[in-house]
Structure 1
Amino acid sequence: MLDALGRAIVTGEFAGKSFPTEAELAQTYAVSRSVTREAVKMLTTKGLLSARPRQGTIIQPEAGWNLFDPDVLRWLLERKFSINLLRHFNELRVSIEPAAAELAARKATPEGLAMIEAGYQRMVAAEAGQDDPLDADIAFHVAVLCAAGNPFYAQFRDVVETALRTSIRFTNRFKGRTASLPAHRAVKLAIEARDSAGAYTAMSMILREVMLLIADAERQEG
């Protein structure tokens, strides 16, 4: 029920309509009032709804949604594809992932380095048709975030993984091929060499290409 309602709100199914009452929701989804209240409460904590005395339950403007909630982000990415949303997410990546690579070069433990190596080897296997290219690319980027040794980056993992799944799928479609192994190898080698500036630059180059692809797609749409 939570997933169905959240998706319906984010994809605009209630646009121009009043949000159903508790009784209507309970009847529609064949659940108890307590289950309905819990679902509404959870959607409220995600910023999608607000419940006020004498006003009922109201859908909140998109600006108030918690975009760092993995469910909200997943529902957003299930809407009609938007180059604008893709650009917004990758602008966030530009500010986070190079810094994470720089930190990983300085702070990565042997376990963190092993995660990055494993992610890269999955990309090598994917190039040979022995792994999923999308999953392998995500594993590499998530490994760099985790290896940074900063708990805030680790907490960001679920959001990045969810958004990367859409971002990488579409950027790969734009350029007609999978992620560049040499570019990702450059990140890996810089981190292993404890070259923080090199790691920052190498990751920035990957994201620069992504932003250029998005700009090209925006020009084609315009």
Structure 2
Amino acid sequence: MARIENLNLSQRVTNELGKAIIAGAYSGNMGLPTEAQLCEEYGISRTAVREAVKMLAAKGLISSRPRQGIRVESPDNWNLYDTSVLKWMLESSPSLHVLKEFLQVRQAIEPQAAALAARKGDQNAIAEIAKALEAMQAAAIQSEGNLLEADLAFHTAVLQASGNRFFFQLRDFIRTALNVSIQHTTPAKGSKKTIAEEHNRVYIAILNGEAEQAKNMMSYLIDEAMTFIENEIASMEAKKSVG
């Protein structure tokens, strides 16, 4: 029982310290507080602190070496494919710049995944895309269900339908960032029906085995989001310069 309690406490400390590191509260120059200081600050045992340190080290945020203490690693060493790290980054400021980088990753992967799905023609996998699309259409037209969750399911299903195991293993990474990205870009389109229709074009191309069309339609979706995010960044930077 104590072990489970320690693990829960460790996860809480990992979450709070992870957010603080990414927000810039700690840097490589100053490092983290000592084990004793963390124990006192969070009211937990050394065992729980050490578990948290191990988890943060596994995510590339910190390193712990004898006689050097706990050091904060350079952002270049952070594991950006770790969904917790990505989530903390998106919650931090400026998240729009992170979303732009994420969209660049999507642009390199998802259009190709759609093209592969069209070429492969796995009917069971394509049926999963159709299922997600139907949920999107229901949420858009009849206000039934969750459009965001259906949208996430659609993109995950396309990754799976590609038949590329490397693409599919990126699903948690894609879902984590896409969850934030969609919430930024959906209001700009103003119509849930339009969103569902654009995804339907991707699906139809995959269903008909039109690889190039599937690739282009998926690229179009991501390009739209990229344009919106870039405009938001430009607006944000313009306000800063005026201020």
TM interval, shorter chain, is over 0.9
Q: Kindly indicate whether residue 193 of structure 2 is the aligned counterpart of residue 169 of structure 1.
A: no
Q: Kindly indicate whether residue 195 of structure 2 is the aligned counterpart of residue 183 of structure 1.
A: no
Distance 1:10 1:215 in 2: 22
* Partners of 2:59 and 2:78 within 8 A in 1: yes
Q: Which residue of 2 aligns with 1:21?
A: 34
Distance 1:111 1:42 in 2: 38
Q: Kindly indicate whether residue 88 of structure 2 is the aligned counterpart of residue 72 of structure 1.
A: no
Counterpart mapping for 1:87-106 below 5 A: 87-106=100-119
C-alpha spacing 1:166/1:94, structure 2 compared with 1 (3 Å) = same
* Partners of 1:174 and 1:217 within 8 A in 2: no
Of residues 121, 139, 146 in structure 1, which corresponds to 2:134? 121
CA deviations 1:5-60 (Å, max 9, x no partner) are 21222223335754111122223223322221121111111110011222211111
TM-score, structure 1 length as denominator?
Answer: 0.92
Distance 1:36 1:152 in 2: 34
Number of matched residues? 222
CA deviations 1:168-197 (Å, max 9, x no partner) are 110123334446222111110111111111
C-alpha spacing 1:29/1:219, structure 2 compared with 1 (3 Å) = closer
Tell me the percent identity.
Answer: 41
For structure 1, list consecutive stretches of 5 or more residues without a partner in the other structure: none
TM-score, structure 2 length as denominator?
Answer: 0.85
> Over aligned residue pairs, what C-alpha RMSD do you find?
1.7
CA deviations 1:57-99 (Å, max 9, x no partner) are 1111212111001110011111134322111110111111000
Counterpart of 2:199 in structure 1: which amino acid? H
Any idea what SS the aligned residue of 2:64 has? strand
Q: Which residue of 1 aligns with 2:207?
A: 192
